[in-house]
Copies of this chain bind each other. A is one copy, B any other.
Amino acid sequence: MSKHTPRHRKGTDQPTLAQVAEMAGVSSITASRALNSPERVSDTTRQRVLDAMDHLGYVPNLVAGSLASSRSRFIAVIVPSLANAVFIEVIKGLQSTFESAGYQILLGNTDYDIEREHQLVRTFLGWSCSALVTAGLRHTHACHKLLKDCDRPVMEVMELGEALDLNVGLDHVAAGRTMARHLLDKGYRRPVYVGARLDDDYRAQLRYSGHAEVLREADIAPLVLELDQLGSLEEGMKGLERVRNEHPDADAIHFANDDLATGALLHALRLGMRVPDDIAIAGFNGLPLGQFTTPRLTTIQSPRDTIGRLAAKEVLSRLEGKRVTRRQHDVGFELVVGNST
């Protein structure tokens, strides 16, 4: 015979919907509806409920709501780095669109580690996120499976290719080709591609492969040089130094991004080098920074804000149940010719 000592759990001592409902003299489901589907409750009742909420300082417990409805208004956003302005701008685009649709962003940072991505995906799925947005098409096998089977919109951004579900980005190989062609057209014959951690930042590697392809077609052996830090002015400076030491006859540097390129450009000017006469410098991204230097940086403008906004818009259409016709969107890119090449 078990004795029935009544158990007690702590909970938060916040007011609950039931208390609000009692105060307003309605059932708790009515109080719930007053908040979540106000059109299903009469005006007078709704007002009484809202007054009671105000009075008690009620804050809805979204965890409980989420469990009951098995929907959270979370969007998981997974990026490889916060140090790079590119991802920040994509996040901004995503955030403004999702927040105005009443979704909350759950931000995860992988530090360019796909194992970490897998872990983040698990966590976010555990929070019943409504959709996932992740940078890139490369995942661990397990993560790929998880994303494929998770039965909610999955958006892969930044690059185009064979995607799991939705895909917004640009063709990085083509971008690399475009810049390499520009350099050849301008008469440079000994360009060096300088990136950092290319195994991790494989989009930079894709751009390099486009670059190398064009050079080989012109019978020029491609040269590549790899740095340690992904995108900083400081590291760009080191990049310039290393090119001067290791490839003293180089006539152009094609940097993997604008941060590196601008760092090198400003350093070159400081050393009294003439850009582009002594050495030409090109970047990738089209950050404002590079457009404020003298000479202006030659770069490739990527529509980062557009990626964020478009990705969010497509995910929202899916969440609203609309049939999505196009799963893939190429946002393109634009060669911006400055005076540094």
Contacts and interface: CB of A to CB of B under 8 A. Distances in A.
A59 B129 CA distance: 13
Nearest to A149: B57
Interface of A: 10-12, 57, 59-64, 66-67, 70, 72, 82-83, 88, 91-92, 95, 99, 104-109, 122-123, 125-128, 145-146, 149, 151, 232-234, 237, 262-263, 266-267, 269-270, 288-289, 292-294
Given A67-B67, A99-B109, A263-B292, 16 more contacts: A10-B70, A12-B151, A57-B146, A59-B146, A60-B126, A63-B66, A82-B88, A88-B88, A95-B109, A104-B106, A107-B107, A233-B292, A266-B294, A267-B292, A269-B294, A289-B289
Given A12-B70, A99-B109, A288-B234, A62 B266 contact: no
A226 B222 CA distance: 50
B233 A63 contact: no
A92 B82 contact: yes
B63 A232 contact: no
A127 B288 contact: no
B294 A127 contact: no
